[in-house]
Amino acid sequence: MADILDGKAFAATVRDRVATHVARLKEENGITPGLAVVLVGEDPASQVYVRSKGKQTVEVGMTSFEHKLPADTSEADLLALIDQLNADTAVHGILVQLPLPSHLNSDLVINSIDPAKDVDGFHISNVGLLGTGQKAMVPCTPLGCLMLLRDYHGDLSGMNAVVVGRSNIVGKPMANLLLGDSCTVTIAHSRTKDLPAVVRQADIVVAAVGRPEMVRGDWIKPGATVIDVGINRVPNGDKSKLVGDVDFASASQVAGAITPVPGGVGPMTIACLLANTVTACCRANGLGEPTDLTV
Ligand code: GUN
């Protein structure tokens, strides 16, 4: 049976570190880090995430600004709100919850955020900085995955990493982070030929495809580390349950270490969002940025 990588417990330690930095910023500098979250429309999953983000922001001592806009909000109105948040010195981080309603151009909206406040790391300039190995805002989910991997393995250099999924939110930035840690990185996706054989080469598997339990135990090299980014709600009798992109029952028999769903990567994402907000706040105020909140 594989070691379980307990993201829930690890996220709590990250939040403790964040809270310590927030208290210090308040006491020594009179600054309270602020995070603005913008939700357009009423997607139920997004509403749950946004509520959770707001709650945890307040719990670590930061200010939460929530902007809930109707689904038919015009692009001009959304861009005007982002301009206002860009100019607001009490706001150190801005997050626009995705997906946006289809009449809004997500790329345009994301790229209108001040890159220094882009705590999601989705702005084109942060993507470019990460891709060229420069100091960037790093997307929260991949950042959380890398923290878990480093915590378990220490040095990752020379390991074969296979990232399954090529999204801008997880797959691509994850591959860049692993490359930065000197892994040999493969990005696999729905068109990859003989995906099981590709995954079987991996010392590290990151599954981020959004397909319930797709990665099976017989795809996993014995002893490999498996990071499951998937959060899929599936029927379970007359109720439902959450499962990952990995078939935990079979994969945990073969892997050396594995993240559970729920309680693995999920809790790390919001913890890293809070960490990025403190980092952005320190940078905005010309203060030395914490070394224990990023990778
Ligand atoms: N939707 C799903 N994941 C994310 C995320 O990390 N950030 C934002 N803004 N929206 C999301």
Q: Are residues 184 and 227 in the same domain?
A: yes
**What's 62's DSSP letter?**
-
95 C-beta closer than 6 A to ligand 1: yes
Closest ligand 1 atom to residue 95 Cα is 9
CA of 99, closest atom in ligand 1:
1
pLDDT by 10s per residue, the chain, length 295? 999 999 999 999 999 999 999 999 999 999 999 999 999 999 999 999 999 999 999 999 999 999 999 999 999 999 999 999 999 999 999 999 999 999 999 999 999 999 999 999 999 999 999 999 999 999 999 999 999 999 999 999 999 999 999 999 999 999 999 999 999 999 999 999 999 999 999 999 999 999 999 999 999 999 999 999 999 999 999 999 999 999 999 999 999 999 999 999 999 999 999 999 999 999 999 999 999 999 9
- The CATH number that applies at residue 230 is 3.40.50.720
- Residue 122, CA distances (Å) to 75, 136, 157, 177, 227 in order: 18, 10, 26, 14, 22
Tell me which residue of 164, 143, 152 sits closest to 245, measured CA to CA. Answer: 164
pLDDT at 290: 96
Same domain as 259, residue 221:
yes
In a domain, 8, yes or no: no
- Please, is 276 exposed, middle or buried when counting C-beta atoms within 10 Å of its C-beta (0-12, 13-18, 19+)? buried
Amino acid letter, residue 229:
V
Q: Where does a domain end: 84, 117, 150?
A: 117
Residues 87 and 172 in one domain: no
**Domain assignment of residue 130, yes or no:** no
Is the CB of 245 within 6 Å of ligand 1? no
Active site annotation includes 3: no
103 and 157 together in one domain: no
Residue 246's beta-bridge partner residues? Answer: 215
Residue type for position 287:
L
**Site to substitute for ligand 1 among 52, 120, 277, most atoms within 8 A of C-beta:** 120
How many angstroms separate the CA atoms of 31 and 90, rounded? Answer: 9
112 and 163 share one domain: no
Which residues, 6+ apart, have CB-to-CB distance to 89 below 8 Å? 284
Q: What is the pLDDT of residue 69?
A: 98
53 catalytic, yes or no?
Answer: yes
- Both 240 and 162 in a single domain? yes
Are residue 191 and residue 222 in the same domain, yes or no?
yes
Residues 6 or more apart whose Cβ sits within 8 Å of residue 120: 95, 96, 110, 137, 139, 140, 273, 276
In the chain, the amino acid numbered 290 is: P
Mutual orientation of helices 7-29 and 44-59 as an angle, nearest 10°?
50
Q: 156 and 199: one domain?
A: yes
Looking at residue 136, its pLDDT comes to 95
Q: How far apart are CA 209 and CA 225, in angstroms?
A: 17
Please give the distance, rounded to the nearest whole angstrom, from the Cα atom of residue 97 to the centre of ligand 1: 5
Nearest one of 259, 222, 245, 189 to 4, comparing CA atoms = 259
pTM: 0.97
In a domain, 150, yes or no: yes
- Specify if 286 maps to a domain: no
> Do 151 and 254 share a domain, yes or no?
yes
Angle, helices 265-284 vs 7-29, to 10°: value is 20
144 and 112 within one domain: no
The count of structural domains within the chain is 2
120 counts as catalytic: yes
Q: Closest residue (by CA) to atom 3 of ligand 1? A: 98
Which residue's CA is the nearest one to ligand 1's atom 9?
A: 97
Could you tell me the two tokens for 54? 């707001």
Q: Could you say which of 56, 117, 118, 120 is catalytic? A: 120
Separation of CA 288 and ligand 1 centre (Å): 28
CATH number at residue 47: 3.40.50.10860
Query: Which residue has tokens 């790329």?
Result: 107
Q: Is 268 in the pocket of ligand 1 (CB under 6 A)?
A: no
Q: Which two tokens stand for residue 90?
A: 């009490």
Residue 281 confidence (pLDDT): 98
Q: Is 148 left (phi over 0), alpha (psi -120 to 50) or beta?
A: alpha
In a domain, 108, yes or no: yes
**Mutation probe of ligand 1 site: the residue of 35, 38, 95, 98 with most atoms within 8 A of C-beta:** 98
Is 148 within the bounds of a domain? yes
| Residue-wise pLDDT tens digits, 148-188 | 999 999 999 999 999 999 999 999 999 999 999 999 999 99
**Is 169 a pocket residue for ligand 1 (Cβ < 6 Å)?**
yes
Residues forming beta bridges with residue 160, ordered by sequence position:
184
Q: What share of the chain is helix, strand, coil (3-state, %, to 5)?
A: 40, 20, 40
109 with 148, same domain: the answer is no
Considering the domain architecture, whether residues 168 and 207 belong to the same structural domain is answered as yes
48 belongs to a structural domain: yes
pLDDT value of position 142 = 98
pLDDT value for 83: 98
Pocket test for ligand 1, best of 50, 95, 117, 270 (most atoms within 8 A of CB): 95
User: Considering the domain boundaries, does residue 198 fall inside one?
Assistant: yes
The residue range of the domain holding 89 is: 29-117
**Residue 186, pLDDT score:** 99
pLDDT tens track for 211-226: 999 999 999 999 999 9
User: Rounded CA gap, 226 and 207, in Å?
Assistant: 8
State if residue 97 touches ligand 1 by the CB under 6 angstroms criterion.
yes
